[in-house]
Amino acid sequence: MECIATIRESHHADPTHPPKRSEVVINLDHQATTPCHPSVIQAMEPWWREQWGNPSSRQHRLGLTAAAAIGSARERLAGSLGIRSDELIFTSGATEANNLALLGHARARALSDGEPGHLISVASEHHAVLDPLLQLKQEGFQITLLTPQTNGLLKPEQLEQALQTNTQLISVMVANNEIGVIQPIRELSDLCSNNGITMHTDAAQAYGHLPLDAEELGCALISLSAHKFNGPKGIGALVVRGGTELQPLQWGGGQEQGLRAGTLPVPLIMGMAAAAELSIQDLEERQARLQALRNQLWTDLKDQNPTIELNGALQPRLAHNLNITVPNVSGSRLQRALRPRLACSSGSACSRGEPSHVLQSIGRSRVEAEGSLRLSLGRDTTAKDIDGAIEVITSAIRTLTQH
């Protein structure tokens, strides 16, 4: 769902020219993507070569073996969410899942209700939600985007006041991809169910990092992406709870219950299932460790740079996220100063180079948004990385503010 925003110098990206030890970049951009874990790569390997069958080809052993593997992976992923296996539809990632959920369900509801209705989301959502809503607006749907509080959180009362008699669908992400705040999804879902409204949530940044159960979330539609939790890129899923109507976005071979045509990528699906199991196994320990490192990062940065400001509530927040604004510093100059030694971003990696709409939605000016940093830790982040990041950021801020 996101693409890398901050890159190394061009020669560092050349596999024939690996970086010297002194040139190694500290990676704190794990919300853009994560490295595929070695155990995940191992789980995928046989399905690229020896077991290369098409799961839709049921006339021979290769196809049957692939189909059985898909069934097993689907069961494992469904079990991690507390859903039936037939409630999980594989997609190319969370962007496609969001499009299928929003476009597919809104159009189905318009057909059953006789006309396009009212849809609600939040101004701080990812573009993979906001852009499909813009498309639906062109199709005659009424769109309301709620403004979050300055801490990034949405109050259930805000949603309740926005409801209309023709409200059909609401979309609010579990955890924000830039400021990491965790929304009160269960309370929002209860409002929806009490009013006959469908609830969708983009859980791309949450699944694999928070304990998630579909029944506890209460959402009819849930979007997932494997590369956010050390799985492969190019695979994700949409949870479609029983009784939720969808229109497909593409047609072809009738795969995935006719909702998502196309040959299933068996290696990627096996990798997603392996990554999910890996993330669940050490979730509690990993989150405690990353939260301690994140808190150290914030505390030490604030001690050494008293003017920096936190974006979003510190709690409830993803353990591996920190987002700060550096006042009175050029954002482009700050990024250039950091790039040789630190990989981070100033917002969503798919923000098209524009200042973060998320930060502006919580009251930051355009200039403040440009001078902000999203620092996101990963499973391999160490205390040494945090110390190095503090040194690099502090040095850059002092150099820029002295001039």
**Residue 224 corresponds to which amino acid?**
L
Q: What gap in Å lies between CA 119 and CA 198, rounded to an integer? A: 10
| 84 three-class SS | coil
Task: Please spell the DSSP secondary structure of 50-71, one letter per residue.
Answer: TT---TT-TTSHHHHHHHHHHH
User: Does residue 316 have a cis bond before it (omega within 30 degrees)?
Assistant: yes
List for the chain the helix, strand, coil content (%; round to 5). 45, 15, 40
Catalytic entry in 3, 219, 344, 350: 350
How many C-alpha atoms does 337 have within 13 Å on its Cβ side? Answer: 20
Spell out where 354-400 has E strands.
Answer: 372-376
| 104 three-class SS | helix
Count CB atoms within 10 A of the CB of residue 69.
21
Q: What gap in Å lies between CA 177 and CA 202, rounded to an integer? A: 10
**Phi and psi angles of residue 199, each rounded to the nearest 5 degrees, phi first:** -115, 125
Query: Which residue is associated with the tokens 């001078």?
Result: 371
| Six-digit token string for 146 | 């709620």
**Residue 36 is among the residues annotated as catalytic for this protein:** no
How many C-alpha atoms does 100 have within 13 Å on its Cβ side? Answer: 32
Q: What gap in Å lies between CA 265 and CA 70, rounded to an integer? A: 9
**Residue 21 corresponds to which amino acid?**
R
| Six-digit token string for 140 | 């005659």
- Backbone φ/ψ region at 187: left (φ over 0), alpha (ψ -120 to 50), beta: alpha
Q: What gap in Å lies between CA 266 and CA 258, rounded to an integer? A: 18
Query: Which residue is associated with the tokens 């498309």?
Result: 135
Count CB atoms within 10 A of the CB of residue 72.
14
Would you tell me the crossing angle of helices 266-281 and 283-304 to the nearest 10 degrees?
Answer: 70
Q: What gap in Å lies between CA 260 and CA 255, rounded to an integer? A: 6
Instruction: Provide the 8-state DSSP code for 148.
Output: P
Q: Provide the annotated active-site residues.
A: 350
